Amino acid sequence: MRLNLAKTLMSRADLMLLDEPTNHLDLDAILWLETWINAYMGLVIVISHDQAFLDATVGHILHVEQQKITLYTGNYQQFIRTRHERMAQQQQAFEKQEATRLTWMILFVVSVLKPVKPSKHRAVLSS
């Protein structure tokens, strides 16, 4: 495994795709790899579950979820923070939309059960 990684790193390619590069590496080797990637002048695409490694080496994250790709700028911790903020905003928007929908449903039921004059409809809708 280490030999394949070493061959890849020394190939001088413009683009490298590294799938779980820290697997089977000791701490010294991981630290060396972090330094090497940070100094590398080409594009490196890393697939990894090693959060500390991602924090030390990445500047952008492509997150794939529900057949959608989202680009995040920053390291792994910034990605986590930004993603949680985005999810909270989406939840708030959803809750607001649901509250609006519920209000309209109640207004509809009230209008069916108790007919009101057209002028009163306008007053209810404008408030």
End-to-end Cα distance, the chain: 68
Please list, residue by residue across 80-92, b when 16 or more beta carbons sit within 10 angstroms of its beta carbon and e when fewer do: eebeeeeeeeeee
Secondary structure of residue 110 in the 3-state scheme: helix
* Residues in contact with 42: Cβ distance below 8 Å, sequence separation at least 6, in sequence order: 13, 14, 15, 16
Assign domain 1-58 to its CATH superfamily. P-loop containing nucleotide triphosphate hydrolases (3.40.50.300)
Q: Is the torsion defined by CA of 9, 56, 46, 49 positive or negative?
A: positive
Let me know: does 56 contact 33? Beta carbons within 8 Å.
no
Prediction pTM value? 0.65
In this prediction, residue 31 carries a pLDDT of 95
* pLDDT tens track for 72-89: 999 999 999 999 999 999
Q: Which amino acid is at 121?
A: H
Pairing of strands 60-65, 68-73: antiparallel
User: Above 60 in pLDDT, residue 118?
Assistant: yes
* pLDDT tens track for 29-67: 999 999 999 999 889 999 999 999 999 999 999 999 999
Let me know: does 22 contact 33? Beta carbons within 8 Å.
yes
User: Above 60 in pLDDT, residue 14?
Assistant: yes
